[in-house]
Amino acid sequence: MAKATTSSTGQFAIPNLPVAIYHATIDLSGVFSPLNMASTTGLHYPKYVFQSLPAFNTTGAASSVPATASVSIPVGKLAATVSGVVTDASGAPVGLGYNVTLATATAPTSVVSTTQTTATGSFSFLNIQSQGAFSISAADTTGAFASVNAVAVTAPIDGGTINKTVSVTSALPPTVVSVTPQHNSDIAPVANQQVVFTFSKPIKQTAVVGNTSASNPAGLYSYVAVNFAGNKAIRASNIAHTLAWSADRTQLTVTLPVVGVSATYIVDLCNAPLTDDAGVAVSGLGTACLDLPPLAANAAAGIAGKGYVSFTTNGGATAAAPGAVNLTNAASLDAKKGALAAIVPTFDWLPVSGAKAYNIYRATKQVWGTGASAPANTHPAVKLNATPLLASGYTDATLVDYVENGSVKLAYDYTVTSLNSDSIESAPSTVVTAEDKVAPKLTQAGSSATVSSITIAFDEVVDPATATNKANYSVALTATPAAKPLVPDSVTENVNAANIVTGYTLNLAAGVTTANASTLTITGVKDVAGNAINVAADQVTFTAAFPAFTAGAAGVPF
């Protein structure tokens, strides 16, 4: 707003200010006479002094009438000592390490100095501005205890010492700072299992809280629920337990005399009427606790208390691996044929003693070629079930096909594991493989007028090497006096505009006349999985220029 420099007598004037309350800052950092502020020895004044100034115009005169206000801003030497002791609510000195803050009285956020208490709770500020107005506050390092109101103090004259007592009390509500065992932990069962709740400050021992006897229905025992929740699944009932407070009242120990294997236990003191000595309730209990399932969201958000702990025990016997896994529809598994695909494998196995559930895994195997030595690549197995299987059976409805890119065979290796009462898996079962087991069928054939070529189509993708091998086809005259074979000359692929094979053309070295009955026989043609065509089912008898047929038409064997 404005500034001025003091005269030799310490006076200053700032004119033409509107009526208001002002905050003045005295800057002594550049003073060299009669006291040199740059000197490192001797007494000093503070480099800066802050003070609020009142409204100047208090006479009600019109704003056109000048008003003058005189203010005095005292500046004392840094020559006073402010000492004291910090005590708790009972008046006893606190221990070592409480933070003590000395601030300007008119500006509490303007910190002059800080220190910490000694082992006896005492503190001291040296070289404080003489006759300055200050406030003192104290708090422990956790913020659990602090001064309710800062203590006002006027520093003594140069060289003097003043002593003050600063009292601290509960600044924060007590909380449950830890629970052992941890929530949702899985531990080995032991006799006299202890669950320990640790609080941030001592808990007041009222007639209810201090009475931990199980025989007193009005005591704390009635507020602490300890439940056996079944075999890691089903809630059961309240079980016997004991309660005990530590000597400093910061720990409550709940002891479960007997715990079983593979079991779930819940210890809940959410409804216990716990407070500190000042009567402040423990934060995090009551509706902020985990006592009810809808409040589990509070825990995920990190705002729930720790008055509820659920833990499980282990120690269940290991379950054996499942025996033979049966692929019940192995013989009918076929490559995809539109909506008629029979590609979904179904499994079952005998129940395993001691198993509570099962997992099933699938490893995809790519095979290039149909021979025993064909190169293959098996991918890592993945678990198919999102949750454990309770029944000893499974249908895999996630398969896409047994052929990839029209030429690569896909097979799937399945294994099953058992889960014991601790959800620990057994070794895997022996592998069972799902793959195409159905042979290809002839679905269409047609010839030219002289049967010099025959167009052929199959119901699934076939192996090109066997489909284009002319040795796998024969056409024989069936009319009397005797059958006379026609010699296949070549087999070519028929492709569409998208370069996809739609069928094959069998070219003959010589045709037959329309009067000759002939039989087309196909052998050795295999699908991508290596299943060979059924010879007896896929013979076609015809005369020259026989029309193209579709599989299933009356009178046409296939």
| Same-domain check for residues 330 and 303 | no
pLDDT digits (tens, 9 = 90+) for 499-514: 888 889 988 876 655 5
Residue with tokens 């090497």: 465
Q: Higher pLDDT residue, 485 or 149?
A: 149
Q: Contact 519/476 with Cβ under 8 angstroms?
A: yes
Of 397, 412, 434, which one is at a domain's C-terminal end? 434
Give the three-state DSSP class for 540: strand
In this prediction, residue 520 carries a pLDDT of 80
DSSP-derived letter for residue 524 is S
Q: Contact 525/463 with Cβ under 8 angstroms?
A: yes
- State how far the Cα of 94 lies from the Cα of 117, in Å rounded to an integer: 8
In this prediction, residue 521 carries a pLDDT of 84
CA distances to 94, 162, 203, 337, 386 from 100, rounded to whole Å, are 12, 16, 26, 83, 58
Q: Which residues of 480-508 are buried (b: 16+ CB within 10 A; e: fewer)?
A: eeeeeebebeebeeeeeeeeebebbebeb
Domain extent, residue 28, equals 1-75
pLDDT digits (tens, 9 = 90+) for 186-195: 999 999 999 9
| Same-domain check for residues 71 and 82 | no
Residue 380 maps to a domain: yes
| Same-domain check for residues 275 and 223 | yes
Q: What is the mean pLDDT of residues 310-328?
A: 92
pLDDT band at residue 55 using 50, 70 and 90 as cut-offs: low
pLDDT band at residue 306 using 50, 70 and 90 as cut-offs: confident
Q: Does the structure show a pLDDT above 60 at 545? A: no
| Same-domain check for residues 355 and 288 | no
Q: Does the structure show a pLDDT above 70 at 86? A: yes
Q: Which residues contact 400 (CB under 8 A, 6 or more apart)?
A: 336, 343
Q: What is the mean pLDDT of residues 381-405?
A: 92
Residue 319 maps to a domain: no
The number of folded domains in the chain is: 5
What's the token pair of residue 347? 């499994």
Question: Which residue type sits at 373?
Answer: S
Of 60, 75, 90, which one is at a domain's C-terminal end? 75
Q: Taking all residues of the chain, what is their mean pLDDT, rounded to a whole number?
A: 82
Share of the chain above pLDDT 90, in %: 37
Residue 320 maps to a domain: no
Of 434, 462, 494, which one is at a domain's C-terminal end? 434
| Same-domain check for residues 2 and 99 | no
Q: Return the CA Rg of the chain.
A: 47
Question: Which residue type sits at 83?
Answer: S
CA dihedral 290→294→298→301, nearest 10 degrees, is 130
pLDDT digits (tens, 9 = 90+) for 111-135: 899 999 999 999 999 999 998 899 9
| Same-domain check for residues 187 and 255 | yes
| Same-domain check for residues 161 and 213 | no
Q: What is the mean pLDDT of residues 354-383?
A: 90
- State how far the Cα of 498 lies from the Cα of 44, in Å rounded to an integer: 96
Give the three-state DSSP class for 537: helix
In this prediction, residue 137 carries a pLDDT of 93
Parallel/antiparallel/unpaired status of strands 186-187 and 308-313: parallel
Q: Higher pLDDT residue, 415 or 315?
A: 415
| Same-domain check for residues 296 and 367 | no
In this prediction, residue 233 carries a pLDDT of 47
- State how far the Cα of 139 lies from the Cα of 135, in Å rounded to an integer: 14
- Report the chain's terminal Cα–Cα distance, integer Å: 106
| Same-domain check for residues 305 and 346 | no
Q: Which residues contact 99 (CB under 8 A, 6 or more apart)?
A: 114, 116, 138, 139, 140, 141
Question: Which residue from 436, 442, 435, 437 is spatially nearest to 535, judged by alpha carbons?
Answer: 442
- State how far the Cα of 57 lies from the Cα of 66, in Å rounded to an integer: 9
| Same-domain check for residues 456 and 487 | yes
| Same-domain check for residues 82 and 145 | yes
| Same-domain check for residues 64 and 115 | no
- State how far the Cα of 309 lies from the Cα of 185, in Å rounded to an integer: 9
pLDDT digits (tens, 9 = 90+) for 232-244: 544 456 788 999 9
Residue 557 maps to a domain: no
Give the three-state DSSP class for 297: helix
Q: Which burial class, exposed, middle or buried, applies to 418 when counting CB atoms under 10 A from its CB (0-12, 13-18, 19+)?
A: buried
- In 171-307 the beta strands, taken as DSSP E runs, fall at 176-180, 186-187, 193-199, 225-228, 237-238, 242-245, 251-256, 264-268
Q: Does the structure show a pLDDT above 50 at 493? A: yes
- CATH code assigned at 181: 2.60.40.1220
Q: Does the structure show a pLDDT above 90 at 177? A: no
